[in-house]
């Protein structure tokens, strides 16, 4: 069995070692644009270069080393639907996302961002507490990561809301769905957490019109994709105070260019796309398990639905 491996960071050796441990029968071939490839049975990539599409079209399945499929589905029309694309299912990402979002929500709820600024200015000034019952947290996206975040937030007693494409129901979470539900969802979410997949339907969903529907003084946490947010509109709304502060882990251009105005805005907290990192060992173990299932003719979990793009 041969596995075609593509790593944008060029760090292939540790992946090859982990595959040798978890799938010793497989030979791992590293993708290089300028070299002829032997036929491969499976491919492991996340956001493949366009030049890789031809070998990808000839494998039994493509395994993504991430949760989001937008990096490959931008080539949707060039990839045959007969080749399943399988994303990572948790593999250690859920708990990281829960940590990240919980930290950001609590930082705003307990006003730590303001206390950090006060401490830098040498000020001792207790601020009024936010009311828990007014601090509703609305999560856009109820996939594996969205659900894990909601589960973590339940502990703190905030009113919880969720928005998804199709109807869902969850204990202790007020659920909204579809274009019709978005308006009501946004109007009642003091904190909006974006954990949507990036698809043609969700691109730019946090545009000016929609962000204006959030209550005055709302907070935004974007851990989905940069293209969900209209960046200049967010900046305007933060400067006007409609959005009190934002925590952003993802951007339209990554790395965020040095001249980007977000860097200069103290109410925008920037992290370099680290909210839920791919854990290599867990990921290889999971992919190896799924390859074994496929070889036995069994169905595997986490296959991307090409109709919906996630």
We find the least distance from the C-beta atom of residue 112 to ligand GLV, in angstroms, to be 25
Instruction: Say how far apart CA 97 and CA 90 lie, in whole Å.
Output: 10
Residue burial 229-257, b: 16+ Cβ < 10 Å; e: rest: bbbebbbebbeeebbbbbbbbbbeeeebe
Catalytic option among 242, 273, 280, 281: 273
Report whether 161 contacts 176 (CB < 8 A). yes
What secondary structure letter does DSSP report for 229? B
What values do phi and psi take at 194, rounded to 5?
-95, 115
Residues that bind ligand GLV (CB under 6 A): 66-68, 278
Position closest to ligand GLV via CB: 66
We find the least distance from the C-beta atom of residue 208 to ligand GLV, in angstroms, to be 25
* Alpha-carbon separation of residue 142 from 104, 108, 246 (angstroms): 19, 22, 21
We find the least distance from the C-beta atom of residue 278 to ligand GLV, in angstroms, to be 6
Nearer to ligand GLV, 236 or 278 (CB): 278
We find the least distance from the C-beta atom of residue 241 to ligand GLV, in angstroms, to be 30
Nearer to ligand GLV, 138 or 197 (CB): 197
Q: In the numeric block, which tokens belong to residue 3?
A: 């596995």
What secondary structure letter does DSSP report for 68? -
Nearer to ligand GLV, 68 or 84 (CB): 68
Catalytic option among 161, 190, 225, 228: 225
We find the least distance from the C-beta atom of residue 31 to ligand GLV, in angstroms, to be 19
Report whether 216 contacts 237 (CB < 8 A). no
Pick left, alpha or beta for residue 189 (phi over 0 → left; psi -120 to 50 → alpha; otherwise beta).
beta
Nearer to ligand GLV, 218 or 250 (CB): 250
We find the least distance from the C-beta atom of residue 106 to ligand GLV, in angstroms, to be 23
In the annotation, is 225 catalytic? yes
Nearer to ligand GLV, 149 or 238 (CB): 149
Q: Which of 115, 67, 50 is nearest to 225 (CA)?
A: 67
What values do phi and psi take at 19, rounded to 5?
-65, -35
Nearer to ligand GLV, 66 or 141 (CB): 66
Pick left, alpha or beta for residue 67 (phi over 0 → left; psi -120 to 50 → alpha; otherwise beta).
alpha
Which are the catalytic amino acids? 225, 273
């Amino acid at each position: 069995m041969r596995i075609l491996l593509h790593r944008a960071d060029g760090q292939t050796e540790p992946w090859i070692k982990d595959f040798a441990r978890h799938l010793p029968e497989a030979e791992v071939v590293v993708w290089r644009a300028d070299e002829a490839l032997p036929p491969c049975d499976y491919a492991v990539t996340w956001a493949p270069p366009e030049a890789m599409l031809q070998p990808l079209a000839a494998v039994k399945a493509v395994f993504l080393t991430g949760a989001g499929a937008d990096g490959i589905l931008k080539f949707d029309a060039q990839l045959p639907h007969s080749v399943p694309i399988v994303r990572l299912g948790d593999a250690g990402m859920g708990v990281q996302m829960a940590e990240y979002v919980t930290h950001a929500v609590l930082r705003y709820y307990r006003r730590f961002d303001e206390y950090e600024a006060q401490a830098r200015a040498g000020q001792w000034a207790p601020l009024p507490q936010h009311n828990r019952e007014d601090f509703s947290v609305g999560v856009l996206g109820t996939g594996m990561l969205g659900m894990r975040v909601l589960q973590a937030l339940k502990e703190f007693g905030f009113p919880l809301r969720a928005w998804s494409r199709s109807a869902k129901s969850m204990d202790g979470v007020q659920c909204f769905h579809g274009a019709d539900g978005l308006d009501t969802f946004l109007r009642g979410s003091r904190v909006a957490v974006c954990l949507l997949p990036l698809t043609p339907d969700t691109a730019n969903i946090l545009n000016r019109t929609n962000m204006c529907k959030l209550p005055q003084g709302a907070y935004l946490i974007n851990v989905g994709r940069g293209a969900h947010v209209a960046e200049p509109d967010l900046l305007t709304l933060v400067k006007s105070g409609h959005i009190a502060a934002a925590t952003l882990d993802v951007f339209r251009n990554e790395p965020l260019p040095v001249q980007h105005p977000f860097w200069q805005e103290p109410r925008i907290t920037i992290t370099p796309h680290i909210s839920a990192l791919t854990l290599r060992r867990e990921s290889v173990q999971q992919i190896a398990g799924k390859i074994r299932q496929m070889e036995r003719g069994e169905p595997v979990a986490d296959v991307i639905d090409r109709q919906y793009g996630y």
